[in-house]
């Protein structure tokens, strides 16, 4: 059968499909029909008389390869017998099995899974007698994470630790020793892990010219999907197989490279034309997912990228409704406003067609509580559901015991960190407390100092106000050293989740209501259950998915982009790509939430925020701005003139004229002003046209956007 290219493909897709000789780089914008292009190219090659056995398709999941091959077979009307399609790892495994002796495995090798690798790390640690008696010692899973990240990024463990896990620095020498021991153990026992498959294949192809030439002759047509997600060793493998001028087509989108934490290196796709001489670059820019106003906004996000392949997404899907940028007064009111938006959107869309996206899993905690309170079911991807977090359960166990000293499960949780106090001992303590056996309690508390401290803390808590936020403040101080000891591998991340718990507590005056709302758990997450459930997801987990309506929350500095990302230029660039991925998940409706302040547990007040730089850069004509008013409603702002540096600056209400606004901006002098949180302050500098450094008595110097101050 003849393939109908004219009606099934657009011009750019057709060019990619029919360009079969030489290196080709297909820059496939979000929603541009990337998979369709690969499938039709497979079919076209075979229909053109190419032997299917000469085609190699490399993907990142087995499922993706199988789906592409199956769809190509449907187009051709016959099987693609002989085509090699699969993951980098599966291809490496098959090649190494056939050539094991050439890499020193004369009797073959055994491939280990993740659990095997973790157990070997533990065994090596024990053999070296490391961490004996240290309850804060990194878990075996964390040890392996450090080793595998170091290998995939091809950086020393010290650099990985400095960037991602600085709190583990005291164990650097130990982890290096375990890493060396782990490598030696594998070699001595003819074992390989998943990383070895790639690095040993790279070594084999580098050193064995006859094999390299043989594979280059066999696989005349190589196609690689999601090229922006390749790491350094995968890119080298592709070069070995294709040769510098081989027939290799790489498909991907530099703007969707968001997995640097796994080792993905965006330079692979950016430098592809330099590595493969004579590369033809084809851009897929027609989007089949989103309405044009959403694409106008995402194009502006990409415009600010430092290094990129230029692309301009467009769509035949039109809409007269712009994306909305919503400014809640605080992150505390943000959850309520998002729930209101979901209830409104529910009139038009099914709940599973609505998604709320966020940078980090803990950021959805207030929303989870708000959704549970009004009975809206949700399904969460990325991170864990709030009520399932172990550290949250730990802290809540203290509150439960203040309310109900007969809560045996809470006692078990509260004593879990005390060495030597297991379930049987907890049962004895519980019985003694409720039978008045003071002799046993005196004996056991003398034996366990931590137990005495716990009892003293609970006695103190019972005498305090029943207001949840005040009790939590005290509990957090008591629990902090326990958190660090109990969860040494990732306590900084867990601490952020507990900050959210404190924020939620502020809006409660009744402890029973607070605990009740937190305990109304829905069914455990079921990947297959999608009907009538709002989707909550981290942006990383949302890649490749789409929804009719998308809400993105916490678009402020330190949250999106994350605090860590603000410190390195390349990390900030990845955050920009993450923002692009988030926005391009939306088909019809996009709403961006920018809380004007965030709750600070230390001060018990809300601190003003700086909007995400990705929001500040957006031209005003790409969105509608809504502000939460002090009365609780929403106030639409008209579009002001765009400031060339910030994009969005002062925006006036319908009652304020453009002329008045311009005059205010032009007549600002270094003097006194008033802020709704910090009160009266003195302006000491104006680093940018609409940003001011202000000295607030009692708070120190703060940098505030002009929208949030009133001149006096």
Domain boundary among 261, 286, 311: 286
Q: Which helix (H) or strand (E) holds 190?
A: none
489 and 591 belong to one structural domain = no
Give the pLDDT score at 649.
34
Task: Please indicate, yes or no, whether residues 514 and 411 belong to a single structural domain of this protein.
Answer: yes
Q: What is the mean pLDDT of residues 391-401?
A: 87
pLDDT confidence bin for 14, thresholds 50/70/90: very high
Of 636, 660, 690, the one marking the end of a domain is 636
Query: Do 88 and 207 have their domain in common?
Result: yes
148 and 201 co-located in one domain: no
Tell me, yes or no, whether 170 and 251 share the same domain.
no
Q: How confident is the model at residue 413 (pLDDT cuts 50, 70, 90)?
A: confident
Predicted confidence at residue 553, as pLDDT, reads 97
Over residues 239-260, the pLDDT tens digits come to: 999 987 789 999 999 999 999 8
Q: Would you state the structure tokens that stand for residue 391, as one six-digit string?
A: 């550290």
One domain, residues 78 and 157: no
* 414-423, 470-479, 598-607, 639-648: segment of lowest average pLDDT: 639-648
Residues 409 and 514 in one domain: yes
Q: How confident is the model at residue 644 (pLDDT cuts 50, 70, 90)?
A: very low
Mean pLDDT, the chain, rounded, equals 86
Task: Using the predicted structure, report yes or no on whether residue 519 has a pLDDT greater than 90.
Answer: no
Exposed / middle / buried, residue 602 (Cβ in 10 Å: 0-12, 13-18, 19+): exposed
Within this chain, do residues 436 and 419 fall inside the same structural domain, yes or no?
yes
Same domain, 182 and 201: no
Check whether 637 has a pLDDT greater than 90: no
Listed residue (257, 262, 274, 191) closest to 233, CA to CA: 262
Who has greater pLDDT, 313 or 434? 313
Percent of the chain clearing pLDDT 90 (strictly above): 46
Identify whether 6 is part of a domain.
no
Res. 35: pLDDT tops 60: yes
Among candidate residues 26, 516, 13, 572, the one with its CA nearest the CA of residue 251: 26
Domain-located, residue 577:
yes
Looking at the fold, whether 23 and 95 belong to one and the same domain comes out as yes
Q: Is residue 106 part of a domain?
A: no
Contact 23, 242 (CB under 8 A): yes
Is the pLDDT reported for residue 661 higher than 50?
no
- What single-letter DSSP state applies at residue 509? S
CB-based contact 161:169 (threshold 8 Å): yes
| pLDDT, tens digit, 9 for 90 and up, residues 531-554 | 789 999 999 999 989 999 999 999
Angle at 538 between CA 532 and CA 541, to 5 degrees: 85
Domain assignment present for residue 660? The answer is no
Tokens of 581: 């991925």
Q: Confidence band (pLDDT; 50, 70, 90) for 626?
A: very high
Mean pLDDT, residues 620-636: 86
**Looking at the domain assignment, is residue 2 inside a domain?**
no
Inside any domain, residue 689 = yes
pLDDT at 144 > cutoff 90: yes
The closest of 49, 40, 47 to 17, measured between CA atoms, is 40
pLDDT band at 669 (very low <50, low <70, confident <90, very high): low
- Which residue has better confidence, 341 or 710? 341
Of the residues 189, 206, 231, the one at which a domain ends: 189
Q: Which pLDDT does position 642 carry in this prediction?
A: 39
Query: 417, 416, 411: which is closest to 398 by C-alpha?
Result: 411
| Pair 595, 554: CB distance under 8 Å | yes
Tell me: is residue 29 an annotated ligand-binding position: yes
Longest dimension (CA), the chain: 90
Please state the rounded mean pLDDT for residues 215-235. Answer: 94
DSSP state of 641: P
Best CA proximity match to 690, nearest among 632, 657, 644, 653: 644
Paired sense of beta strands 354-358 and 547-552, if any: parallel
How far is 590 from 550, CA to CA, in rounded Å?
5
Distance CA 40, CA 19 (A): 12
pLDDT of 219 higher than 80? yes
Residues 6 or more apart in contact with residue 498 via CB below 8 angstroms: 391, 392, 395, 476, 479, 483
Only one residue has tokens 């940028």, namely 325
Which of 176-180, 288-292, 646-650 shows the lowest per-residue confidence on average (mean pLDDT)?
646-650
Round to whole Å and give the CA distance between 535 and 353: 8
35 is in an annotated binding site: yes
Range of the domain at 149: 115-189
pLDDT band, residue 269 (cuts 50/70/90) = very high
Q: Is 657 domain-assigned?
A: no
Determine if residue 33 is labeled as part of a ligand binding site: yes
- Cα 389 to Cα 71, 379, 516: the distances in Å are 41, 15, 16
Distance from C-alpha of 279 to C-alpha of 24, rounded to nearest angstrom = 5
* Burial class (CB within 10 angstroms; exposed 0-12, middle 13-18, buried 19+) of 345: buried
CATH code of the domain containing 263: 3.40.50.300
- Rounded CA-CA distance 10/8 in Å is 7
| Count of structural domains within the chain | 5
Q: Is residue 391 part of a domain?
A: no
Distance CA 344, CA 326 (A): 15
- Both tokens of 233, joined, read 């060793």
Q: Are residues 589 and 440 in the same domain?
A: no
Q: How far is residue 548's CA from residue 583's CA, in Å, rounded to a whole number?
A: 12
Are 357 and 621 spatial neighbours (Cβ–Cβ below 8 Å)? no
Q: Is the pLDDT of residue 16 over 80?
A: yes
415 and 500 together in one domain: yes
């Amino acid at each position: 059968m003849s393939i109908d290219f004219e009606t099934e493909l657009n011009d750019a897709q057709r060019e990619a499909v029919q360009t079969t000789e030489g290196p080709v780089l297909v820059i496939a914008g979000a929603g541009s029909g990337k998979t369709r292009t690969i499938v039709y190219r497979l079919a076209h090659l075979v229909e053109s008389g190419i032997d299917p056995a000469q085609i190699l398709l490399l993907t990142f999941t087995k499922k993706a390869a199988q789906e592409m091959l199956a769809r190509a077979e449907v187009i051709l009307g016959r099987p693609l017998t002989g085509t090699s399609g699969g993951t980098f790892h599966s291809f490496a495994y098959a090649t190494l099995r056939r050539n094991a002796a050439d890499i020193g495995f004369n009797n073959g090798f055994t491939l280990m899974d993740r659990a095997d690798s973790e157990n070997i790390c533990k065994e090596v640690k024990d053999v070296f007698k490391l961490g004996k008696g240290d309850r804060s010692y990194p878990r075996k899973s964390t040890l392996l994470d450090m080793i595998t990240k170091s290998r995939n990024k091809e950086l020393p463990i010290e650099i990985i630790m400095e960037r991602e896990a600085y709190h583990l620095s005291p164990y650097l020498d130990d982890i290096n020793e375990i890493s060396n021991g782990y490598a030696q153990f594998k070699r001595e026992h003819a074992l390989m892990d998943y990383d070895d498959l790639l690095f040993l294949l790279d070594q084999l192809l580098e050193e064995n010219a006859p094999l390299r030439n043989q594979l280059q002759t066999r696989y005349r047509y190589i196609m690689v999907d999601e090229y922006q997600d390749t790491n350094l060793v995968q890119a080298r493998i592709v070069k070995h197989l294709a040769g510098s001028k081989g027939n290799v087509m790489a498909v991907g989108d530099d703007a969707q490279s968001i997995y640097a934490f796994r080792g993905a290196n965006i330079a692979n796709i950016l430098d592809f034309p330099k590595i493969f001489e004579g590369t033809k670059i084809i851009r897929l820019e027609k989007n089949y997912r989103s309405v044009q106003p959403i694409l106008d906004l995402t194009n502006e996000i990409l415009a600010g990228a430092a290094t990129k392949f230029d692309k301009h997404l467009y769509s035949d899907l039109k809409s007269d409704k712009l994306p909305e940028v919503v400014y809640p007064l605080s992150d505390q009111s943000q959850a309520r406003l998002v729930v209101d938006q979901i209830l409104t959107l529910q009139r038009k869309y099914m709940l599973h067609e609505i998604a709320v996206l966020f940078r980090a899993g803990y950021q959805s905690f207030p929303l989870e509580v708000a959704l549970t309170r009004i009975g809206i079911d949700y399904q969460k991807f990325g991170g864990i559901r709030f009520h399932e977090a172990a550290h949250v359960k730990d802290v809540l166990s203290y509150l439960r015991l203040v309310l109900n000293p007969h809560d045996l499960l809470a006692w078990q949780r509260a004593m879990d960190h005390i060495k030597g106090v297991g379930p049987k001992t907890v049962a004895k303590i519980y019985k003694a407390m409720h039978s008045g056996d003071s002799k046993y309690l005196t004996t056991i508390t003398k034996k366990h100092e931590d137990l005495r401290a716990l009892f003293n803390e609970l006695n103190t808590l019972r005498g305090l106000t029943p207001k949840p936020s005040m009790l939590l403040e005290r509990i957090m101080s008591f629990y902090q050293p326990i958190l660090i000891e109990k969860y040494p591998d990732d306590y900084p991340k867990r601490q952020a989740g507990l900050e959210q718990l404190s924020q939620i507590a502020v809006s409660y005056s009744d402890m029973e209501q607070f605990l009740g709302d937190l305990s109304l758990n829905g069914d455990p997450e079921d990947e297959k259950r999608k009907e009538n459930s709002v989707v909550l997801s981290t942006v990383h987990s949302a890649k490749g998915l789409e929804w009719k309506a998308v809400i993105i929350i916490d678009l402020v500095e330190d949250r999106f982009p994350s605090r860590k990302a603000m410190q390195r230029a390349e990390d900030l660039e990845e955050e920009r790509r993450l923002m692009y991925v988030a926005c391009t998940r939306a088909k019809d409706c996009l709403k961006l939430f920018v809380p004007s302040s965030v709750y600070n547990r230390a001060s018990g007040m809300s601190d003003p925020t700086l909007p995400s730089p990705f929001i500040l850069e957006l031209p005003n004509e790409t969105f509608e701005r809504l502000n939460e008013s002090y009365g609780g409603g929403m106030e639409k702002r008209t579009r002001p003139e765009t400031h060339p540096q910030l994009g969005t600056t002062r925006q006036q209400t319908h009652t304020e004229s453009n002329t008045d606004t311009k005059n205010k901006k032009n007549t600002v002098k270094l003097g006194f002003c008033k802020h709704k949180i910090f009160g009266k302050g003195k302006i000491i500098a104006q680093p940018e046209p609409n940003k001011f450094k202000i000295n607030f008595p009692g708070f120190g110097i703060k940098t505030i956007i002009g929208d949030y101050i009133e001149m006096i």
